[in-house]
Amino acid sequence: MATNDEPLYPIAILIDELKNEDIQLRLNSIRRLSTIARALGEERTRKELIPFLSENNDDEDEVLLAMAEELGVFIPYVGGVEHAHVLLPPLEALCTVEETCVRDKAVESLCRIGAQMKESDIVDWFVPVVKRLAAGEWFTARVSSCGLFHIAYPSASDQLKAELRNIYGQLCQDDMPMVRRAAASNLGKFAATVEQNYLKTEIMSIFDDLTQDDQDSVRLLAVEGCAALGKLLEPQDCVAHILPVIVNFSQDKSWRVRYMVANQLYELCEAVGPEHSREHLVPAYVRLLRDNEAEVRIAAAGKVTKFCKILSPQLAVQHILPCVKELSSDSSQHVRSALASVIMGMAPVLGKDATIEQLLPIFLSLLKDEFPDVRLNIISKLDQVNQVIGIDLLSQSLLPAIVELAEDRHWRVRLAIIEYIPLLASQLGVGFFDDKLGALCMQWLEDKVFSIRDAAANNLKRLAKEFGPEWAMQHIIPQVLEKINNPHYLYRMTILQAISLLAPVMGAEITCQKLLPVVINSSKDRVPNIKFNVAKVLQALIPILDHSTVKPCLVELSEDPDVDVRYYANQALQACDQIMMSS
């Protein structure tokens, strides 16, 4: 039965609400279908509610979408799996509507229900639905039917299976490109349920037809079928049937098909196996890397590291690296950006010598690229190269570029460098860091962009953790405290934030001796924003320090003329009192 907070809606009210002009009311009533079904009971749901929904499929798309979704989880409300077939008629009707998202949701719900139905019920009820949709006069029904074959096929008799394979073959040759597209995109799922002997004959024949379709939108979906079918076939059949198709597709006259091949190439290589990939797919991949369409080069460049993992280092250096060099100075910034995001991963594949000789110059040229995204993508993956070539060489060749990027005019590039600094610091070691990068970390505290100042303060905390409080006391704290006298209040606020972040790392003694006096002194600042930030910092320091050391300052701030200063000071005082009570 329905719970107390879900009122019992009789079918008459549902009917009234579903006929209401207000779409929100209609939507709400559809979303309450499960409550209504519980109120009606299983038998009345089957005899009254479901037939009513079957007839009521002429509504706004939002309402129909909600109905298709609800019906997918409706089996418990109609009496369990034995009665699941009563849900098929309303969903069959929804499979024929014009709106794609409604049809897709109806197909998804049908698949969910079909997966739970008994084999005999699938043959008696589900297969006829598939056949009726596949023979539908309007193309929408035929499109929907393509997504149901993989559920219907396993339970069918041999005669019925032959009929279903035949119907699917006809859908792949339908006059409407939309139907052929749906058949192409669902072929992998259907093929996975078909017996091996029919897979090699009938399914491969269907697949061959799709690969030669005159519509590029159908051919590009057949590319996805290559990877799916390749995993189902024996290796020798895969080489005989799938490999020639991939090679042809990589030279297709439509750039969208070539783009799809470039995007799926790694999956296709997995299907074909490494041996044949090296022999047959390397020339195809090189062609894609040098394609005249930028979109194809972007997709191919993004897969360069994955593809190199299949090859031996010699083959990668011989065939792929020349293309990578060309792409690093490509006319499209998006191609360079795609390359920059993966090129670092080539270092472990090629090994130390090839990385130093061949890749390092490419990294450096990309680090100086005029487009900020290219520089960002290189910076974020520097650690992959470091593992291969070692820190000494990295610091000699890449550090000057990093120092240059630390002052980049694009703040996102500066931000990426800051986030990379703690990792770099741990790898370079304390001595090298002090010489080259220490000054930069202080410089960022006075950046014009708040995100940079905020990241710089967090960066100091991470460095203090990495190198320890003694190092921080010598190299960070004095420079930070000097900056509290900056004439601009925003920079003084950054220093207060840095103090609150550093205090837990530095410990109670250093905080009390060095950091706290600076904070208390700032409570006399003429800018209210500084004063209420002092209150926030003091509240953060309460767990570290004896509260008696911070309370007098907070009491003074709680009597400040500014309302915000008083508010934050009182918040901090309450925190003080709570700690006193708990101790």
Residue 8 has pLDDT above 60, yes or no: no
Distance CA 303, CA 181 (A): 26
Altogether, the residues listed in the chain come to a count of: 583
pLDDT in tens, 31-75: 777 777 787 788 888 887 788 877 777 767 788 888 888 888 888
- By the 10 Å C-beta count (0-12 exposed, 13-18 middle, 19+ buried), 175 is classed as exposed
pLDDT in tens, 347-358: 777 777 777 777
Cα–Cα separations (whole angstroms), residue 292 to 295, 304, 332, 333: 9, 17, 11, 15
Higher per-residue confidence, 362 vs 280: 362
Provide the pLDDT confidence category of residue 3 given band limits of 50, 70 and 90.
very low
First to last CA, the chain: 51
Percent with pLDDT over 90 in the chain: 0
Distance CA 469, CA 476 (A): 10
Q: Which two tokens stand for residue 204?
A: 């491969």
pLDDT in tens, 128-141: 888 888 888 888 88
What does the DSSP 8-state code read for residue 476? T
What integer pLDDT is reported at residue 384 of this predicted model? 66
Lowest mean pLDDT among 39-48, 290-299, 452-461: 39-48
Provide the pLDDT confidence category of residue 434 given band limits of 50, 70 and 90.
low
pLDDT in tens, 471-484: 888 888 888 888 88
Distance CA 392, CA 427 (A): 10
Q: Which residues contact 576 (CB under 8 A, 6 or more apart)?
A: 542, 547, 550, 551, 554
Amino acid in the structure at residue 485: N
Provide the pLDDT confidence category of residue 429 given band limits of 50, 70 and 90.
low
Q: How many CB atoms lie within 10 A of CB 580?
A: 12
Provide the pLDDT confidence category of residue 9 given band limits of 50, 70 and 90.
very low
Give the relative orientation of helices 255-272 and 282-289 as an angle to the nearest 10 degrees: 150
Residue 438 has pLDDT above 80, yes or no: no
Provide the pLDDT confidence category of residue 436 given band limits of 50, 70 and 90.
low
Q: Which two tokens stand for residue 142?
A: 């035929």
Residue 1 has pLDDT above 60, yes or no: no
Higher per-residue confidence, 298 vs 198: 298
Residue 362 has pLDDT above 50, yes or no: yes
**What is the DSSP annotation of 396-441?**
HHHHHHHHHHTT-SSHHHHHHHHHHHHHHHHHH-HHHHHHHTHHHH
State if pTM tops 0.95.
no
Tokens 């979408």 correspond to 65
Q: What is the mean pLDDT of residues 314-320?
A: 79
Domains parsed from the chain with CATH numbers = 509-582 (1.25.10)
Distance CA 565, CA 570 (A): 9
What integer pLDDT is reported at residue 233 of this predicted model? 74
Lowest mean pLDDT among 144-148, 205-209, 495-499: 205-209
Distance CA 20, CA 368 (A): 63
Residue 174 has pLDDT above 70, yes or no: yes
What integer pLDDT is reported at residue 432 of this predicted model? 64
Q: What is the mean pLDDT of residues 94-112?
A: 87
Distance CA 354, CA 348 (A): 10
What integer pLDDT is reported at residue 10 of this predicted model? 60
Torsion of the alpha carbons at 436, 437, 442 and 447, rounded to the nearest 10: 110
pLDDT in tens, 377-396: 777 766 666 666 666 666 66
| CA neighbor of 79 nearest in space, from 115, 35, 47, 31 | 47
Higher per-residue confidence, 171 vs 201: 171
Tokens 């220490």 correspond to 438
What does the DSSP 8-state code read for residue 488? S
Average pLDDT value for the chain: 80
What integer pLDDT is reported at residue 254 of this predicted model? 85
